[in-house]
Amino acid sequence: MSSALTDPNHIAMGVVRPAPGGDKILVVDDEESMRMILPELLEDFGYTALCAGSGTEALELVRRERPQLVLADVSMPGMDGYALLVALQEDPLTRDCPVVLMTGRITVHERARAFELGARDVLVKPFAGEALIAKIACVLGDGR
């Protein structure tokens, strides 16, 4: 990925700093392109990226790997992002893991539903890499 966002000189200018300690972030999306692009971006900023292609796979990974954040697509076959969020909230082992939902479109009602179910935020695709990194920093509270 060759953009100003992932250029180390861009980072050095103080726009975005690499993550301290390499927090684990789980990307959950049924689109292979998102499972390729987002981990590369996250790793460029010092995060450790994990990927899942379904909600069911994500549940297993969250329980096993204990990521600090889950980025989950809303529209997936089988267990969608909302169902994943509910399952994570209901499990005492995973309920403290913050979830940011990603979607191509969202209504006011759907956004409200996401927050009612416990999502920390909703990102509308396409989104800028810088917006994603800033959102992650805000959710994780690492002051970037």
* Domains of the chain from N-terminus onward: 4-137 (3.40.50.2300)
For the stretch 92-127, pLDDT in tens is: 999 999 999 999 988 999 999 999 999 999 999 999
pTM of the full predicted structure?
0.84
**Cα distance between residue 134 and residue 128, in whole Å:** 10
User: Which amino acid is present at 55?
Assistant: G
Is residue 84 over pLDDT 90? yes
- For the ranges 4-8, 45-49, 62-66, the lowest mean pLDDT is seen at 4-8
Q: Phi-psi category of 17—alpha, beta or left, where left has phi over 0 and alpha has psi -120 to 50?
A: beta
